[in-house]
Structure 1
Amino acid sequence: MATTVQKITLSSSRDIPFNKLVLSQSNVRRVKAGVSIEELSEDIARRGLLQGLNVRPVLDAEGAETGMFEVPAGGRRYRALERLVKQKRLAKTAPVPCIPKAADAATSAEEDSLAENVQRVALHPLDQFRAFLAMREKGQPDEDIAAAFFVPVNVVKQRLRLAAVAPSLLDLYAEDGITLEQLMAFTVTHDHARQAQVWEVVQRSYSKEAYQIRRMLTETTVRASDKRAQFVGLGAYAEAGGVIMRDLFQNDDGGWLEDVALLDRLVADKLKVEAEAIGTEGWKWISVAVETPYGHVNGLRELSGTTADLSVEEQATIEVLNAEYAKLEAEYESADELPDGVDERLGEIETALAAFDGRPVMYDPSDITRAGVFVSIDGDGKLSVDRGYVRPEDEAPVTVDGEGDTEAEGATPEASDPSTPMVQRAIITIGGQVEPEDDDDDVIKPLPERLVTELTAHRTLALRDALATNPHVALTALLHKLVLDTFQRTSSSGGCLEASVRHVFFSVQAADLKDSPSAKAIAARQDDWKTDLPADEDALWDWLVGLDDASRSALLAHCVSYGVNALYEKVDRYGGAGLSQHGLERRLKHADRLARAVGLDMVDAGWRPTVDNYLSRVTKPRILEAVREAKGEQSAQLIDHLKKGDMAREAERLLDGTGWLPEPLRLADIETAADTPTGETGALPDFLASDDEDAAVETEDDPARMIAAE
């Protein structure tokens, strides 16, 4: 016999005047959450009531219906309607769609109220993203969508950007295969193929964090804060067809410039235009580079120009600005905080006065024709023009008495004719950069010779800075040199004292050397002394005599520091005039002695292992060795499966803050160095121990083969 299925009966809906409704005390919602009553009422005013109210008749003491209805489910909608009635935007008797239930229904009012809230399923965020996208595709502006849902416009833009991620990734997000944070990271680029490529790598990696996804998506880009981007301008880059990648979910510092080749071309073009304009001033040569290396003016004579005089009008303007500044300072001297307007005005005055300090420097026309200019970009992305440097080969020839009327060799009659105007076209050179070769061999090879030289250039500069701030050690080093010259008669040259300081120029150096803390400290100290030093040699002697002992010691230390040369350099194997192996060993040993004396620590000096200055320049085993030394074997195993580029970037993150240093920057073992008898040559570090340039593999049985390879 077939079982009879019992049919259910749904309550029929009916319209009930609003003034016949009251809020039930059986409503289980007590805590405010989600959309406010104000926003819900505005939404009802815009769209109407999308869902009716659940109501029950109110009974009197005898159990008879009173004609009023209570609302146990839908209390927030009732409050929103009530607000519209109070605002007279809805009539008191306006019919409200309701679903009434019998007073003696099988389920209680509390149960109905709870069920309505518990059984409701929130919309998946992806459905919301796609709904916003559909509304925009139908012609609704972002502002209208934001107004319709009472959210800021930026929220709409964010959700639309999420909806534009690669469909395959959206499908993964719908299935909880990736997190919302990961999905937000993918919005940095619109390239679906690149998004899929990065996810393919990330899902096999131990690190699946959002920051790693962003890093991989932007690894071939240039930040908008880069000085090249600031120099060209984001507007000019975009106008030339360049794409700027933006992150709508966190501060991206202006975003990333995707087309690096285009940016470099725009930089080169703008620098060339600037150089050509400067060339009309009559300079012999102009050297153009994005950034000039440290010590680029070594060996060049700097012209002494004169600053252009202030005009009467300019002088009057300065006096007026100074008077106004002094008046404002006096007026608000006792104020705890300056008003915004006053603070802004003081800043304007300071800027205006600073502009007068940057007046152009005038040079002798005859000097200009043999001198040159360095054109580059400073750290703030502004044009840097350094005028007035003469190369040794361009110096005016020294004439002997009686030869003054003889024309200089190679001079033309037009050049010797004062009536003929001199028109000289500047020779403009634009520097380039050679990328280092990659090496993915699995063996730990010796450090490249150029890298060792770059690292020791960093150490030399830091050692100079440390020595210049330690007059006692500087005096000891100088006395040591004098004693050697006096008692051992080592070679020396220059001056009647037979003691000199030769400034060593770093022909091989890393790009970040001139921006290091040591370089900046040395340059600032040099500028401070240069400002005080008299130009005349006789006056210099008298000035030195008048210095107090502390100033004399400080100046001596500064001068002696310029003679420090702790560079590793290629030795001359054939006994020529170059550096010998013994000379290199002696130099490095002496450098360690100085480093210990001044307490040099390259970590404190600001050196950190990065992708550019070390990790991309060595083999994968070297990278793993560095991580292993600094963080242990477990950290090394986390990255040993990565490709070299990814490994280098992760190693930079892991090594940050550990204080790890490569061998050339470490201080030699103190006890070993102290035990070496005077006059004997100490052993070189492992990475310099061998003379075999062709050594390619280091082994435990033969550590002496660890040399700097070319």
Structure 2
Amino acid sequence: MNAIIKTLAPATEIFPLADLYLSTLNPRQEHDSEGIALMADSLVACGLMQNLGGLRDEDGRIGIVYGGRRLAALRLAVERRPDLAFVPVRIAPDAETALAWATAENTAREALHPADEIRAYGRMAETGAGISAIAAAFAVTEAHVRRRLKLATLPGPVLDALRAGEISYGHATLFTLCNDEVRALSVLDELRGRQMSEHGLRQLLQSGSIRPTDRRVRFVTLEAYEAAGGAVTRDLFSQDVFVEDAGLLDDLFAAKLAEAAEAAQAEGWKWAETYTEGSIGYYQLEESDFARLYPEEGELTEDETNEYDELAQLAEAEALDEAETERLAELQDMLDGGYTEGQRALSGVMVYVNGQGVLSRAEGLVLPEDKPAAIEAGFLRASVHATRDTGDDEEVSDAPKSPYSGALVQDMKAVRLAAVQTALLAKPELVLDLLAFGLSMASGVSTTVFDLTPGRPTNRPTKTEGLVENDRLNHPPAAHEAWSRPELKVDDLAEAFRSFSTKGKKTRNAAITEGIARTLPYGAGGGEFFALIEADSGASIRKVWTPTAENFFNRVSGGYLDDLFSDLLDLSGTDLRLKGFRAKKKADKAASMERLFSDAEYQAVQGVTADQKARIDAWVPDCL
């Protein structure tokens, strides 16, 4: 189209109407039937006053490149005026000139409908015309041509619907997201006659498609998926890409994960398996039959500790050279310790891919059949709270060697009791049901549901930081304090009762609720019964307690904190965040964990997602 159009005067010839047809070079392929009928009336009355323009084809027939509406009107008018059966046509000397005529004739008139534009640009592109040539021919920008050409490969019915006003141009662009013509036409049928947002249409067209942010795609990589022959759809109007072959993606995902499991088992673990469903955290492990071993922490000599501290200070100042960096990493590895050969021989590893598509592992998992050997080797401890009968005269524990001290466990029991008692304050009917049950024969002769004595069960941990105490539970002082605090002694019970009874039923019921709630001891009526009260009251430890460095994190090992930080944030062993966390001193780790649980700014810096935030907000230690 950049060549100069020939200036020789084209010949005008007379052709039978039957030898004329609408050329594909003519941009206007659709005509208003009412307008054509009116033009036919004009031709009958006045005859043809303006010639048509056309190009002779190989069969000698003439393709009309301008005057298409007149051609359509002539076919109607000839029934009333037979002399119109022979038509004067201006013949173009070549296709290039014909295309120029078609363009000039039609762009000088009213703007083409977008559907006609799309088809016209597409036909020109098929003949080899470039973007610049099409833009020059239609007097539009190249960007405009590119946008229209993106729609040129849409199924014909979609463009027909656009031409008929059944869908908007925005709707039409969304059909480029679907490579499946059958599905596209099915969605088009569903769209007809309905008011549907572009967002709703996008959802319909993309159902079943997978985004590159999917953890499977991130792990396999989009490049590897496409190299394996996987189909993708690229949104021509944005940067979005969609993976179409879920089956192939799953196969590639499983194969790559299996390779990672083989590599893990080669490290000396007794077994290695894959977990394809998603992340494995504390909650999944708690619900399984696995026991879990913890890595043995390493120890540094006094000289190594001093060296470590000096290098850590240089690292914070970003003043380490290459040799010092390597030495710090070596000392950190020594300090981190790890799983021993013996631990690996009795436990395994579960390989999975976290929500960010990063390969991760849950290590030190002990199968039920390996627990006796792990106990004998000293890796697990026997527990009176979780045992099973082996058929012999010995009991085997399902509990791992606990990372929690006895004092920490007792504090967590007090926190749990405080959570249940606090929840009961809002459940007076449940409290009265429990009281009636405990006082009736329905609970059995010797069952103790409440401790109805002057003493009170311990619902206050030794470390009260992070605990939201409820004044209504009125935690009692030590017994000897009652003698030195007048407000805790009643000299005239009769007078006290008269005063109390005049306050009405609301005060009485509140006092019963508070008093009975205070007397509920930890583990009342056995573990299952206490758990039932806990569930029915809607109690939650995290409603009354938030872990802090003082009340929890400083009281567990550094290795435990490493595992917890990794699990909560779905981190792999190579993640820089985890490496930075492991490089900290124990006190700094505890402080960072406190911030992770309570500091929104720190959570943002760590890239905490909504799912991870929910996990952090719900987390409680597995020591109860």
The reply to whether TM is greater than 0.5 is no
Q: TM-score, normalised by structure 2?
A: 0.41
Q: TM-score, normalised by structure 1?
A: 0.37
Of Structure 1 and Structure 2, the greater helix share is in 2
Rg larger for: 2
